[in-house]
Copies of this chain bind each other. A is one copy, B any other.
Amino acid sequence: MRVINFNPGPAGLPLPALERARDELLDFQGSGMSVMEHSHRGKEYEAVHDEAISLLTELLGIPATHQVLFLTGGASQQFAQVPMNFLTPDTGADYLMTGVWSEKAFEEAKYYGKPRVAATTVQPDKHYTRVPRQDELKLDAKAAYVHLTSNNTIYGTQWHTFPDVGNVPLVADMSSDFLWKRIDVSRFGLIYAGAQKNLGPSGVTLVVADKAFIARGRKDIPKFFRYTTHAENNSLYNTPPTFAIYLVRNVLAWMKGLGGLEQMERQNREKAALLYGAIDRNSGFYRAPVERESRSVMNVVFHLPSEELNAAFVAEAKKAGMVGLKGHRTAGGIRVSTYNAVTVENVRTLATFMDHFVKTRG
């Protein structure tokens, strides 16, 4: 019996994508071996690799100016790889600070250049409850790039419109909201996202890079760390994480079969409406710290009146077959992560449980 999985990442995957993997785990398409036993230079694996890229290109509407890369090391490696490629000791980059992940990205940039805080919504208690407004950004037109975290997995805030940053390339950590809906990719210099929330297992990092932007990257850094190396070799410069990419392919094929990103967006908005609806109609019991315009569609954060009730909520939900609801240690309370594999039905079950919990324990 599968449980309802609200894990923040690694997260639940769509059952059809997993079943497909299971059914051919020992013998991939009659080849007599698992896909993970195939050479990354053989035609069987390369077809999977290329299909993953073309599905992503199609679903997201990636223009010819941009290229998909499969890297590793998670978003945390990108925190360092981005400034390694684009900063020098004398150049700056503008960071928009909206939580723990932006802070980590900012810290890594200091080893290569002069990152600046161009906006922050940090509060005196060090927490964040919203993203900055356009009029709060103090941008430097000479910055090498502007960096933002599109969705703040821990605090449950999200950029619903991306800021205007002029002609400076926009770099976005989309780890926790990549592929929940269509976006205008042409506005970004580089997008990165660990696969383990919306589109696969951990172990592969998706990058969508503006080819002209990465071509301007430093040449005096190791070949392995240059984006151009992976771009020129179609992410086959060295051995990629083939099985993780295969699973991403399975998830992308499932998304396409369901109706693509239009359908994902519809479902995700419906799921978020169900949860924020349950919070708001029980607002004397559930407290949502995030300001309304910054509420995340992916990670819904709320608090019950006491630590005991937070714990009881998690424990009773678990008995009802729902797991992964404990908030991050930094933010506390409850966090419901509703990535693409979580169904509207799953969320309806939780929303009903939330109403019921108020009646019995409120």
| Closest chain B residue, CB of each to CB of A196 | B239
Query: What separation, in Å, do the CA atoms of A33 and B1 have in the docked complex?
Result: 8
Identify the stretch in A20-28, A139-147, A288-296, A309-317 within 8 Å (CB) of chain B at 4 or more residues.
A20-28
Query: What separation, in Å, do the CA atoms of A160 and B282 have in the docked complex?
Result: 71
Decide: B9 and A79 in contact? CB cutoff 8 A. Answer: no
Query: What separation, in Å, do the CA atoms of A318 and B166 have in the docked complex?
Result: 58
Decide: B15 and A224 in contact? CB cutoff 8 A. Answer: no
Decide: B33 and A3 in contact? CB cutoff 8 A. Answer: yes
A280 at the interface (CB under 8 A from B): no
**Residues 17-65 of A contacting B (Cβ, < 8 Å):** 18-19, 21-22, 25-27, 31-34, 36-40
Copies in the complex: 2
Decide: A203 and B27 in contact? CB cutoff 8 A. Answer: no
Report the minimum CB–CB distance from A213 to chain B (whole Å): 21
Known A-B contacts A1-B32, A3-B31, A244-B203; the reply to A10 vs B239 at CB < 8 A is yes
Report the minimum CB–CB distance from A81 to chain B (whole Å): 9
Report the minimum CB–CB distance from A240 to chain B (whole Å): 7
A340 at the interface (CB under 8 A from B): no
Report the minimum CB–CB distance from A24 to chain B (whole Å): 9
- The answer, among B10, B38, B107, for a CB contact under 8 Å with A7, is B38
| Closest chain B residue, CB of each to CB of A78 | B224
Identify the stretch in A178-186, A215-223, A347-355 within 8 Å (CB) of chain B at 4 or more residues.
A215-223
